[in-house]
Chain A
Amino acid sequence: LRATVLVRPKQGILDPQGQAVEDSLRHLGFAVADARVGRVIDLEVDAADPGQAQAEVERMCQELLANPLIESYKIEITG
């Protein structure tokens, strides 16, 4: 099964990278605000069903893919 993990800086956490992106977009003339930069992790998970895959990826997020102090994550299981 395919899993996609979206890791984002938690709300209220200063995101200098997002700020830099926002500043650059403004520089280009785009009217934007509140840009946040996270990361995407695509995975092929060996699991019997989507439920099991979801549980596995959940553990991956807690143990490695995200730091719970500063990041939130969202898991999507497809195919």
Chain B
Amino acid sequence: VIADRPRVAVVAFPGSNDDYDAVWALTALGAETTLLWHASERLPDDVGAVVLPGGFSYGDYLRCGAIARFSPVMAAVAEFAAAGRPVLGICNGFQILCEAGLLPGVLRPNASLSFVCRDVALRVELDAPPFTSRCTAGQRLVIPVKHGEGAWFAPPQLARQLERNGQIVLRYAGDNPNGSVDDVAGVVNERGNVMGLMPHPEHAVDPLLGSGDGALILASLLDATRDAVPVPV
């Protein structure tokens, strides 16, 4: 094992469809990536970060992410998060983390009634490890979204509290594709080690394909993972 290659587990649920893209992007950025089936009750021992990818786990039955949170792996993910280790949820992964109570708020059907699939501009509100250390506050990122239920919602009091705590990490800049409260595109938990976002950083890791901005988020995660991994001597 090469000490400086961060190990990341990408969890595949029944209905995930961006799991391989996440694995590809993280691997391209230098991670040793494990695709982990949701039925696994534990995470690989030496894993330094967990990514819940996009898709339509359990067919979005009941509510997006509502069923996936009962997957056997989720207890281990919650434990990992409780230990302060980084967990990133992208799109459906974000929905799952909200339903699991690991992130504040909930994702609702887009206000437009339409599925949106396009590049969107984002503004970085928080530049901090483990998810946005490679960005600067106020920076504009272009990353695609593709979702039908991406309108993040929190009651006004909760939304204000998150704003005060600095838990709003990303906002849509000008063009809100889904009608989310306060243009929120990505949030972290109170401790800052669990993040969810609707845009897909794993689909924006190469300027040849439109944008490389997503790599800033994934590389931030890998930096944090690398720092956290004890180096064997």
25 contacts between A and B (CB under 8 A): A13-B108, A13-B153, A14-B108, A14-B151, A14-B179, A16-B109, A16-B111, A16-B112, A16-B113, A17-B109, A17-B113, A19-B113, A20-B113, A64-B62, A64-B66, A65-B62, A67-B66, A67-B99, A67-B106, A69-B105, A69-B106, A69-B153, A69-B155, A70-B106, A70-B153
Minimum CB–CB distance for B4 against chain A, Å: 41
B108 touching A70 by the CB < 8 A rule? yes
Interface residues of A (CB under 8 A from B): 13-14, 16-17, 19-20, 64-65, 67, 69-70
Q: Is B110 an interface residue (CB 8 A)?
A: yes
Which A residues touch B109, using CB under 8 A?
A: 16-17
The docked-state distance in angstroms from the alpha carbon of A65 to that of B63 is 9
The docked-state distance in angstroms from the alpha carbon of A13 to that of B106 is 12
- Chain B interface size, as a band, is 10 to 19
Minimum CB–CB distance for B16 against chain A, Å: 21
Within 8 A of A (CB), among B70-126: 99, 105-106, 108-113
The docked-state distance in angstroms from the alpha carbon of A14 to that of B108 is 9
Which A residues touch B111, using CB under 8 A?
A: 14, 16
Return the chain B residue nearest A41 by Cβ. B62
Return the chain B residue nearest A9 by Cβ. B108
Which B residues touch A70, using CB under 8 A?
A: 106, 108, 153
Return the chain A residue nearest B104 by Cβ. A69
Minimum CB–CB distance for A65 against chain B, Å: 7
The docked-state distance in angstroms from the alpha carbon of A17 to that of B149 is 11
Q: Is B154 an interface residue (CB 8 A)?
A: yes
The docked-state distance in angstroms from the alpha carbon of A58 to that of B106 is 21
Which A residues touch B108, using CB under 8 A?
A: 13-14, 70
Minimum CB–CB distance for A23 against chain B, Å: 9
The docked-state distance in angstroms from the alpha carbon of A77 to that of B202 is 47
Which B residues touch A19, using CB under 8 A?
A: 113
The docked-state distance in angstroms from the alpha carbon of A7 to that of B188 is 28
Return the chain A residue nearest B110 by Cβ. A16
The docked-state distance in angstroms from the alpha carbon of A65 to that of B106 is 14
Which B residues touch A13, using CB under 8 A?
A: 108, 153
The docked-state distance in angstroms from the alpha carbon of A32 to that of B232 is 69
The docked-state distance in angstroms from the alpha carbon of A33 to that of B136 is 47
Q: Apart from A16-B109, A16-B110, A65-B62, what are 13 other A-B pairs with CB-CB below 8 Å?
A: A13-B108, A13-B153, A14-B108, A14-B111, A14-B151, A16-B112, A17-B109, A19-B113, A20-B113, A67-B63, A67-B99, A69-B153, A70-B108
